[in-house]
Structures are given as C-alpha cells and as structure tokens.
C-alpha cells in the first residue's frame, strides 16, 4: 500500500474541486507505486499545489512532479526532453521539462504512463538508488491559505 498523504497536502488540495484533488491524489499514488521510497516535496504556491519526487530531496535531482491546477493536473518530468516519447504524450517547449496533462480518471489508466515515470527515474538516479520515503512540506503560502480562484466554467457547462 502507498503511504498516506501528509495532512498538510490534503489541506492544500481542499481548495480545489473534489474531482481535481482526487486526480492529484490518484496520480500521486501511481508515482509512489513506481517509486515507493521516493522523497515527496510538497509545495503550496498561489497558482498551484505541486509535489516533487526525488531520491535526495534536492530539487535538481527530481525525476517528476505533479502540479495541480483548477481544471486539470500535470505530471511533469524534469528531464522530459530526454525521455523517448513514442506516444507523443509529452507537452511543453521549455529547455528541459515536459509534462502530460491529466484531466480525467481515464488519463491515469493509459498504459504508457508508468513507463514514462520509470524512464524519468532512470534518468535521475542510478538503478537501485533509494530514498527516505518521507513527505516534506517545503513551502507554503505566507500568512495562511486564501481561497483559490476557481476557474471559469467552460462555455456551455454548468458548475453544478
């Protein structure tokens, strides 16, 4: 079983619609199933809640991250330009980082998703590298949480 999420992470995610916070937690579970000893660094910022995964706790050693936004969740790869992308699933134009957008449960079941995570781990650390398996809150919004702005509903959709 994957380790339980830090209560502070649950608090940060509570500002999102249940569907989005559920996607973020389900994606976290997928990553930790592939890397159960990875150290999880939790960041709360004004624009997103992010979870970085590494075996050292250092940002530069991260192999992937989850970024939570109002309408979707991204699975980002710190060295994404180096990952083979036969499924053309990686998005982004930055120098190094690429991501896969997760908008629904079906996106989590794509069979290649775990292979991308495994490839990212191989790029970040030699085989057999182990982490502490801990969760660490690295930063939070100064002065406490204010309500996140909800995304505007897409045309033709109700927010019920």
Residue-by-residue pLDDT tens, the chain, 160 positions: 688 999 999 999 999 999 999 999 999 999 999 999 999 999 988 788 999 999 887 778 899 999 999 999 999 999 999 999 999 999 999 999 999 999 999 999 998 999 999 999 999 876 666 666 677 777 655 444 444 444 444 444 444 3
Record the tokens describing residue 44, joined without a space: 């709360």
Q: Is 43 helix (H, G, I), strand (E, B) or coil?
A: strand
137 C-beta neighbours (distance < 10 Å), count: 16
State the residue range of the domain holding 128.
7-138
What's the whole-model pTM score?
0.83
Record the tokens describing residue 98, joined without a space: 């690429």
In degrees, to the nearest 5, what angle opens at C-alpha 63 toward C-alphas 59 and 69? 80
**Residue 39 near residue 132 (C-beta atoms within 8 A):** yes
CATH number at residue 22: 3.30.1460
Q: 147 lies in a domain? A: no
Give the total number of structural domains in the chain.
Answer: 1
């Amino acid at each position: 079983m994957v380790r339980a999420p830090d209560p502070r992470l649950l608090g940060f995610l509570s500002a999102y619609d249940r569907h989005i916070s559920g996607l973020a937690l389900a994606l976290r579970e997928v990553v930790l199933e592939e890397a159960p000893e990875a150290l999880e660094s939790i960041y709360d910022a004004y624009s997103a809640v992010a979870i970085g995964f590494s075996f050292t706790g250092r940002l530069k050693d991260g192999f992937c991250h989850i970024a939570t936004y109002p309408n979707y969740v991204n699975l980002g790869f710190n060295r994404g330009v180096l990952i083979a992308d036969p499924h053309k699933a990686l998005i982004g134009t930055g120098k190094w980082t690429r991501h896969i957008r997760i908008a629904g449960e079906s996106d989590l079941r794509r069979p290649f998703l775990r292979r991308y995570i495994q490839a990212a781990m191989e790029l970040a650390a030699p085989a057999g590298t182990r982490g502490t398996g801990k969760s660490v809150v690295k930063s939070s919004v100064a002065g406490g949480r204010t309500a996140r702005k909800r995304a505007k509903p897409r045309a033709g959709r109700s927010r019920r």
